[in-house]
Every structure is written in C-alpha cells, then in structure tokens.
Amino acid sequence: MTGRTPAPRKATRRDVARLAGVSDAVVSYTLNGTAPVAAATAERVLAAVEQLGYRPNQAARALRSGSADTLAFLVPSSSDPVFTNPFFGEYASTLEAAARDRGYALYTTATSFRPDEVLARFREFAARQIDGVLVLAGSTPLDSAALDRVGLPWIALNVATGEHGVASLGTDLRAGAVAMTTHLLEHGHGSVGFVGQDDPSEPRYVGWLQACTAAGVPAGPFIAAEVTRPGGRDAGHRIADERSADPTPAPRAFFVASDRTAVGVLRAFHERGVRVPEDIAIASFDGSSEAEYAWPGLTTFRQPIDEMAQSAVARLLATDRDHTHELFPGELVRRRSCGCPDAG
Amino acid sequence: MTGRTPAPRKATRRDVARLAGVSDAVVSYTLNGTAPVAAATAERVLAAVEQLGYRPNQAARALRSGSADTLAFLVPSSSDPVFTNPFFGEYASTLEAAARDRGYALYTTATSFRPDEVLARFREFAARQIDGVLVLAGSTPLDSAALDRVGLPWIALNVATGEHGVASLGTDLRAGAVAMTTHLLEHGHGSVGFVGQDDPSEPRYVGWLQACTAAGVPAGPFIAAEVTRPGGRDAGHRIADERSADPTPAPRAFFVASDRTAVGVLRAFHERGVRVPEDIAIASFDGSSEAEYAWPGLTTFRQPIDEMAQSAVARLLATDRDHTHELFPGELVRRRSCGCPDAG
C-alpha cells in the first residue's frame, strides 16, 4: 500500500465553514438538506463551496463504489479504555473527520499494545486492504522495524519524544507544562505543586520543575496520581486533608497533568469545602470539553488536536513519506480556576 | 458469514474479577504480568480462572493467527460526534470488551446514516470479511431489507421501539423517565419540568408526561434543548433568567434528558447563582461518569451498558439468530442533585 498516489490538500468542510463564517454543521445542513438553513446563510455557504472547489461528495462516492479507502486507528484496550477519556474521544472524532475530508473511512480498534499483538493487528490490517495505520502509542515502545516490514504506512500519535526513523507527532508537553506552571506563578503564588504521574522523566513533570527552577521558587509539593478521574479525586482528598491539618493554611497553586485528573481534584475540593481559586488555584492540561464545563471552568493547555489530526492523515497518505517527529505547540486557555477573571 | 458456529456464554475477565474479588485490571495484571500483583491476590485470581474455565488467551491467539474474527460498530458521524459523548464512549469501550471476551476484535467506524451510505458500508464490511455489524442507529430509520440482503448478521443498538424482523435492543427510556420524574415528585415538588428534545413522541418526553399525569400534577414547564452540553447550558440560562424575573420564586424540579445536557444546565445554574438542589432540583439520564463527577453529583438513570453490550454481541454471534427487540430496564442512581442525602 506504500507508493499510493499523493493526496494534495483539498478544501475541507471546515475551510468552507470558516470562509462562510458558519459552523461545520451548517455546511452539512446546507449541502445535505438535513436541517433548515436561512437563505442568506445557504448562499454564503454555496459561494464558499464554489470559491474553494470543495467536493462534498467525494467520501460518499468512494463509499458507494464499495471499494472505500480506509485507515485504521489503533488505540489501547487498557483497564482505562481510551474512549472513556473525553480528550481522546474528541481527538478520535477529529481524526475521523480529517480522514473523511480526504475520502477515507476510519476504523478505530483497540489492542493491548503487546508487541506480538500489535504486529498481528498490522498483518490483519494489511490482509483487509487497509491503507494506513494511525497508532495511539503514547509511551508504549513499538517494534518499528517489525511493523515497517508489514508494508503499511503508519504514524505514531501522542508521542512526546521522537524515535529515529519513525513517523510520529505529538504536543510539546514539556513546553505546555512550563506555560501552565509559569502562568500560576504569575498569579503571585510563591510555589506551584504538581499532580501527575510519579515519573520524573515524563515531560509534564520535567516542564513543571523547569518552570519552578527558572522562577527561582521551590517546586512542590508533588502529589502522585493516576491520570484518571478517581486518581485525581484521591489526590484532591490528600491535598485538602493536609491543608485542613495546617492551622494557618496559605493559598496554594497546583498544575494538574490532565483535565480528567483535574475534574477529580475539583470534585474532592468541592467535597471538602476547599474553594477554587481562592484557597487553591488550579491549571490543567488537554483542553477537552470537560475543562470547559467543569465548575469553576478549568484553565488548561489546549492540545491542537485539529492541526495534529490534519497532519497525521496528510503525512500518512503522502507518497514521499517522512519519518520524523513533529512537535506541536499548544495554547493556554484562561478560565477561572487559576484566578483569571473569566466568565467561567 | 451467517451460520457461524454458536458462541456459548464463556467466562469473561469480569467474571474472574468478581469471583476473585478484584478489579478487571488486576486480572489482566496477574495473567499478563504487566504490573506487580500481591502473591495472595494472584492466587485468588488463578483459582477463579481455573474454577470458571476462563481462557484468557483466546483473543490474543486469534489475533496472532492473522485471521482475527472481527465485528464492526457503526456510529453516526454527525456534527456532534458520538465519541465526544462520554456515555457513548463508555458504551463503545464496553462493547469492545464484550467482543474481545469472545475472541473478536471490534472496528468502530462512522457513517452519515444516509441509507445509501449505510448499505455501502455493509457491503464494504462484507468485502473485508467482517463477521457482523453493531449499528448505533438511534432513531435513524434503516432499510433493513436491503441490509439483510448483504448477508451479514447485524443488530441495532440504542433503539427505543422495535421494528418487525429487526434484531435490536435498547434501554427502556420511557420507564426510566417515569422513574426519574416520580423520584423528583417524591421529594415533594408540586410539579416537574422537562429539559429535552422538542418531540412529544420521544420516550423520555412520553414517560415524563405519564408520571406527571399519574401523580395528578401539572407537567411543566417543558424546555426545548439540544441534547448536548451547549444545548443544556442554553436551557439552563433560560430557566435561571425566568426564575430571576419572578419576585417570589418557588423551588422547582427538572428532569433532564441526558447527563451531558444536565452538565450544561448545571454550568448555567452555577453561572447564575442558582443552587442545586436547594433552588432547583435536577435528575438526569444515562449514568455516565460525567454525572458522577459533576458538582453536585447528578442523580441519574443508569443505562445498563454492560448487560446490553453482552447481549448485543451474543445475539449477533448466535447461530439461531432472533429478530426481536429487547428492552432493558435501567437503575436509579441517587446523588445530591435531586435533594437526596448523598455524599455527592
């Protein structure tokens, strides 16, 4: 399946939406007639479709032909399945849309990520005429030489540090941790703690420590937590209990390694009557809808899932494939949990 | 692919976990050696494996052979993708585990649910040697005769009302709505409103109305809302604004059609200073982790995704396939949002 024809960047539904100043959904409603659209709006959409040369039915045509082009998305089947994490759910939906925009269907499927099972899944994909594989490996080591021999193009997602000869991409977690920790310090906190994995080589741990050192403040405390909602809740209880044992507790600040963990921390603080941000300020990581709808709204580092999804699919389908690691910057989203004067 | 050998109910990892009194993850750790397990715990797990005749490597063996058995899970590619809904994310993970327990991999893939596209996807699945299809159709009508002619077994999930000759299942939404509305009435509210889809034939709407009528109280108000977080937030703002215009607002209660909508309603109430449950009591629907980690915790109707996933996969793989509609009861989960004295 290597050496397929190049897939130039075609206009996407999103491009049309941006040019017409409407949502993606309104583009679909206009073109598919699935919901009523005001005449003036529909005209703007159709003008944008013409101007950009958007071909809305490309995916549908490929599917109707019965020989649809298809990519596989391999995700972990862990005890904490990927789709129960809203961040990855949103990432998967974005990848699906990016593939569809290029006329590809996406099969999402789970694996234990044991090396023999990953290899078996790659062979299975090849046998089923799948055109390429997106691998949500995270920190799991992959036997890239063995996978390459299967002959399918593949790219690893959610990768922090590139490996020679492997196509991969991921958010710059370290830089994100620096940005969030620095932001909390700028709110006037004399120190910033970290709630996350107990792994000093993990980029968010590294970035947190770097930011504290650069600011000349003591780093701490570090609160080890599983990166799940219950893990965050447990960490939050420990922080709240330590605080209530202190006769004159000072305001504190914590950088929390993921939105999901932070939702658990928030929950524990609500249970213990700890006010956010007045008693303890929080900044988290990912930029999922969970952070937006938490109370108070979570200041977070938004991973650029749109840009990463577009790049992952484009690189997978390029004739002239590169095998480099691509690092994406993210974006600080200010809400109320850190002390910023946001509506949230 | 019809007429395959029957798939009797085999012991699952979960059965082993229950018998050994440990989590699913600890069973995996013990059998795969992926994390340390205390000796006494490992012995309990291995005893349970033996007693139940659990065959942990069945899925792995099938995959290693390169000829894995595979099911497809067809979900909507709407403007509000299914995986951004935590309830469906949890359902998908549960289906994947149910398939894996029977030695099947699961490919999850999205479609517009236009009849021609669904048919094309079924043909594509047949061409790729997929063994059966789980269809998350919801209320979208399907051309079941055309799909049957493709020759793949299939079953429709999340279906409220069965159709003759179509294998389907779903939660009894109407009964759930009756349970939640009645529960709010039992808290002493003189009336209960409903936040949900503007569709009087939708089973949750029907159930809400039935419960009010049965209790002899006026039903209302009805607040139309998109079943999304922003839709809920918008509805919450409307409810809060109407309340603040009332010089002597009375406590109220609302049944909200989904956890996701309720999270948006809660957010709006926090923004407007409306206290839950003191000013307005809330009960919602689905039983997702979002309801558990909301503040206050959401009293909700838990859809039995575990039982539904097991049944869906078992029925799909049975030699002697039935084409009936199976309705599942759910369960009221009490938390603080309705006024119950829960820790949440």
Give the mean model confidence (pLDDT) for residues B82-106: 87
A208-213, long-range: CB < 8 A, 24+ apart: A208/A177, A208/A178, A208/A181, A208/A255, A210/A174, A210/A177, A210/A178, A211/A177, A211/A178, A211/A181, A211/A182, A211/A185, A212/A181, A212/A185
Query: Residues of A with CB below 8 A from B287's CB?
Result: none
Q: Which of B32, B65, B77 is opposite residue A100, by nearest beta carbon?
A: B77
Which of B49-58, B142-151, B176-185, B216-225 holds the top average pLDDT?
A: B176-185
Q: Is the ipTM of this complex over 0.85?
A: no
If contacts are CB pairs under 8 Å, which of residues 8-27 in chain B contact chain A? Answer: 23-25
Tell me whether A63 touches chain B (CB under 8 Å). Answer: yes
Ranges for all domains in chain B classified under CATH 1.10.260: 1-52
What is the b/e burial string over B241-274, where b = at least 16 CB atoms within 10 angstroms of the residue's CB?
eebeeeeeeeebbbbbbbbbbbbbbbbbbbbeeb
Phi, psi of B157 (to 5 degrees): -105, 160
Choose the closest CB to B93 out of A83, A109, A116.
A83
Mean pLDDT of B311-319: 94
User: What's the pLDDT band for B12 if we cut at 50, 70, 90?
Assistant: confident
Can you give the pLDDT at residue B55?
63
Give B229's contacts in chain A (Cβ within 8 Å).
Answer: 289, 292-293
Residue of B nearest to A119 (CA): B64
Predicted confidence (pLDDT) at residue A1 exceeds the cutoff of 60: no
State the smallest CA–CA distance between residue A89 and chain B in angstroms: 5
Q: Are A192 and A341 in contact (CB under 8 A)?
A: no
Residue A286 has phi, psi (to 5 degrees) of 135, -50
Query: How far, in whole angstroms, is CA A187 from its chain's centroid?
Result: 26
* Chain A residues 161-190 within an 8 A CB cutoff of chain B: none
Q: Compare B149 and B321 and report the one with higher pLDDT.
A: B149
> Rounded to an integer, what distance in angstroms lies between the CA atom of residue A214 and that of residue A57?
53
Q: Which CATH architecture has domain B1-52?
A: Orthogonal Bundle (1.10)
pLDDT bracket for residue B34 (50, 70, 90): low
Closest alpha carbon within chain B to A271: B344
Q: CATH assignment of B173-303+333-338?
A: 3.40.50.2300
Tell me the pLDDT tens digit for each residue of A242-254.
999 999 888 899 9
CB count within 10 Å of CB B130 equals 21
Out of A31-40, A227-236, B183-192, which region has the weakest mean confidence (pLDDT)?
A: A31-40
- Residue A274 tokens, joined: 């700890």
For B48-69, what is the mean pLDDT?
Answer: 58
Interface test mutation site (partner A, options B14, B28, B83, max chain A beta carbons within 10 A) = B83
Would you call A81 and B68 a contact, using CB atoms and an 8 Å cutoff? no
* pLDDT reported for residue B46: 78
Q: How confident is the model at residue B222 (pLDDT cuts 50, 70, 90)?
A: very high
pLDDT confidence tier of residue A342, bands split at 50, 70 and 90: low
pLDDT tens for A199-233 read 999 999 999 999 999 999 999 899 999 989 999 99
- Where is pLDDT greater, at A51 or A211? A211
- Among the ranges given (A178-187, B59-68, B297-306, B314-323), the one the predictor scored with the smallest mean pLDDT: B59-68
pLDDT averaged over every residue in chain A: 87
Whether B133 and B74 have beta carbons less than 8 Å apart is answered as: yes
Interface residue of B295, B298, B335, B342 to substitute, partner A, most A CBs within 10 Å: B295
Q: Do B96 and A89 touch (CB under 8 A)?
A: no
Among candidates A68, A110, A123 on the partner chain, residue whose Cβ is nearest the Cβ of B96: A110
Quickly tell me which residue has 């017409």 as its tokens.
A20
Phi and psi at residue B235, to the nearest 5°: -60, -40
How many whole angstroms separate alpha carbon B265 and alpha carbon A293? 10
Edge-to-edge strand list for the sheet holding B252-256: B219-224, B192-196, B252-256, B280-286, B299-302, B331-333
pLDDT band at A61 (very low <50, low <70, confident <90, very high): very low
Top-tier CATH class for A1-56: mainly alpha
Q: Which residue of A has its CA nearest to B111?
A: A105
CB B72 within 8 A of CB B123: no
Beta strand pairing status for A331-333 and A299-302? antiparallel
